[in-house]
Amino acid sequence: MSVLLIIIGIILFNLIIFAHEFGHFFWAKKFGVKVNEFALGMGPRIFKIKKNKTIFSLRVFPIGGFCEMEGEDTDSNDPSSFGKKKAWQKFIIVCFGAIMNLVLGFLMTMFLLIQSPKFVITTIDSFSENAVSSSFGLMKDDEILSVNGSPVFTYKDLYFDLSADGKSEFNIKVKRNGKAIELEGVKFETSGTDNGKSITKLDFKLKTVDKNFITLIRQTWMDTLSTVKIVWVSLMGIITGRFAISNMAGPIGIASVIGEAASTGLKTSIMDAVNNIISIMAMITINLGIVNLLPLPALDGGRLIFLLVEMITRKKVNPKYEGWIHAFGFFLFIALMIYISYSDILRLFGKI
């Protein structure tokens, strides 16, 4: 059974890579760019087929992939090369890898939600006995819109926002009778933990809605936005020093988390284990989409910055200088991955 789950995990991971590279591939072909090779995996080829001047290949290590376009990183006089296309066309080709990751995250989220007969929404249904928050202005039928200025899309945002800062009181915006109302200094019941930190508890229940086509699409959209928000806030937290870089997970850490999630799911059923894996993969593909759009060298977002400059100035940035910048960014990225993998190993053996 564990072997089957490992295979499912590998397939889903490669689906994430395929979606990203297919986003580049589709629009490259649409705009007449020659694609030399479309590959899944890294390392030596184990299978290849050539069709319409493109080699489609599988490689031995299922840990990545690429869409190699003519003239993408080097000068080429071929009129069908990437470099010969208009800036706006190149912009679409580059950004659609990340967009396809976000689309895949949406579909994975829908797969998980479609199994549920009801969806929890962010409207208060009832308060527990002696609820603390009700004495600070929250009322039944309030729809929670934001916590401390951070938008609330799903109940997961509530748990995330109430626990992220370790605060004891919050400014909460609600919709009440069609009007937005700001409630300041709202407090909740808290409980202590072994490390001395307090945990904020929700002292009310949220309403649910029945599943139908409209509510399914809406809830999938809101859940996807919630994941985007959590990923973005976490990334910004690392950049600003709010969260430690050592808290990031690389391939080793992700594999460990997937294994734990699968084991937990297997205690009830194989489907629960699969759903746990898909839930993590949805987070990963959305994470990949957002990270790739960051304006950093060696990432798609870094390439988009150069294309924006080209679109504004009508002049291409010298490929030599752009190449140096991306190479430096790639070096930093590899160094970061080595550090994260080292942290993963220490965490695996309980050293951090």
Question: Which ranges of 209-318 does DSSP label H, i.e. alpha helix?
Answer: 213-240, 251-266, 270-292, 300-313
Q: Region 302-328: what's the mean pLDDT?
A: 85
Judged against a pLDDT cut of 70, whether residue 104 lies above it is answered with yes
User: For residues 330 and 249, what is the distance between their CA atoms, to the nearest angstrom?
Assistant: 18
Averaged confidence pLDDT in the chain: 86
Judged against a pLDDT cut of 90, whether residue 19 lies above it is answered with yes
Identify the residue with better confidence: 237 or 293. 293
CB atoms within 10 A of CB 300: 23
What integer pLDDT is reported at residue 245 of this predicted model? 67
What integer pLDDT is reported at residue 114 of this predicted model? 96
What integer pLDDT is reported at residue 222 of this predicted model? 96
C-alpha Rg value of the chain to the nearest Å: 23
What integer pLDDT is reported at residue 236 of this predicted model? 80
Residue 98 pLDDT class (50, 70, 90 cuts): very high
Q: Is 214 exposed, middle or buried (0-12, 13-18, 19+ CB in 10 A)?
A: exposed
What integer pLDDT is reported at residue 261 of this predicted model? 75
Q: Indicate the residue type of 316.
A: K
Q: Among residues 198, 199, 205, 122, which one has the least CA distance to residue 158? A: 122
Judged against a pLDDT cut of 90, whether residue 18 lies above it is answered with yes
Identify the residue with better confidence: 247 or 207. 207
Residue 326 pLDDT class (50, 70, 90 cuts): confident
Please identify which residue in the block is written with the tokens 């294994």: 259
What integer pLDDT is reported at residue 92 of this predicted model? 96
The 10s digit of each residue's pLDDT in 42-60 is 899 999 999 988 999 999 9
The H or E element spanning position 57 is strand 54-69
Residue 104's alpha-carbon distances to 99, 284, 289, in angstroms, are: 9, 10, 10
Q: Which of 150-159, 257-266, 312-321 has the lowest mean pLDDT?
A: 257-266
Identify the residue with better confidence: 216 or 348. 216
Q: Region 161-169: what's the mean pLDDT?
A: 75
What integer pLDDT is reported at residue 268 of this predicted model? 81
All domains of the chain in start order, with CATH: 2-114+258-348 (no CATH), 118-210 (2.30.42.10)
The 10s digit of each residue's pLDDT in 252-299 is 666 667 777 777 777 788 888 888 889 989 998 999 999 899 888 888
The 10s digit of each residue's pLDDT in 119-142 is 999 999 999 888 888 889 899 999
Residue 89 pLDDT class (50, 70, 90 cuts): very high
